[in-house]
Amino acid sequence: MSSQPEDNLTVNMKITGKVQGVGFRYFVLRQAQELGILGWVNNKPNGDVEAFAQGEKADLERFIAKVKEGPSFSRVEDVSLNWVKEAEQYFGFEII
């Protein structure tokens, strides 16, 4: 059974606010690529955005801070974090 390296963490994020129709997913994708974060981002039917992010703790903390800011036309009200112990390994970051 293979597990992630100790310094690699995975977090499931739910982002609420004005986060659809404002380029939010593309913003998240760019931040992930710049920081070497793996995973995905997705619009939810209820207007929220969900993301799954995997990377080193310091990179994830910077990524989460950027997501909380959001792009200029967005308004992030809340970002809930759920740290995941066992997660599949991702090999890139994509919009799904």
Domains in the chain: ranges and CATH: 8-95 (3.30.70.100)
> Which residues are designated catalytic?
25, 43
In the block, tokens 């974060």 appear at 37
- Of 88, 22, 81, 21, whose CA–CA distance to 51 is shortest? 81
For 86, phi then psi, to 5°, come to: -110, 120
Pair type for strands 49-56 and 38-43: antiparallel
Tens-digit pLDDT profile for residues 56-86: 999 999 999 999 999 999 999 999 999 999 8
Helix (H, G, I), strand (E, B) or coil at 28: helix
Taking phi over 0 as left and psi of -120 to 50 as alpha, with beta for the rest, 22 belongs to alpha
Share of the chain above pLDDT 70, in %: 94
